[in-house]
Amino acid sequence: NAGVTQTPKFQVLKTGQSMTLQCAQDMNHNSMYWYRQDPGMGLRLIYYSASEGTTDKGEVPNGYNVSRLNKREFSLRLESAAPSQTSVYFCASSEVWRGANYGYTFGSGTRLTVV
């Protein structure tokens, strides 16, 4: 039972480079999310997808794009990386039933450094 799988686990980029973080879940959850976590701050939502075919901005969407490829997969793209995007990125999925969220399952994270 893999849960949420995200790749890569580590990445170093030069300023201006682009990359895509991949995420897949096998729990048949409708909702998927991308968060970033910085020291001393809580997890901050970048983008989310309430269901297949929909995506919406979260708290800190600037500099990112997402694609909900199908029910299982939700990718995050950095088009032109900046040092401010150095962070740990987590993908998550959740069961949402009758509008109530029943808790997240997170991937193991991607540690991204932009130099």
Partner 1 sequence: RKEVEQDPGPFNVPEGATVAFNCTYSNSASQSFFWYRQDCRKEPKLLMSVYSSGNEDGRFTAQLNRASQYISLLIRDSKLSDSATYLCVVNRGTGGFKTIFGAGTRLFVKA
Q: Which amino acid does the sequence have at 15?
A: T
- 101 makes contact with partner 1 (CB under 8 A): yes
Q: Smallest distance from the beta carbon of 15 to partner 1, in angstroms?
A: 25
**Binding to partner 1, residues 40-69 (CB under 8 A):** 40-45, 48, 50, 56, 58
Measured from the CB atom, the residue of 43 and 69 that comes closer to partner 1 is: 43
Backbone dihedral angles phi then psi of residue 68, each to the nearest 5 degrees: -95, 100
- To the nearest 10°, report the CA torsion of 15, 110, 51, 68: 50
Backbone angles phi, psi at 41, to 5 degrees: -120, 155
Chain residues that interact with partner 1, rule: CB under 8 A: 31, 33, 35, 40-45, 48, 50, 56, 58, 90, 94, 96, 99-101, 103-109
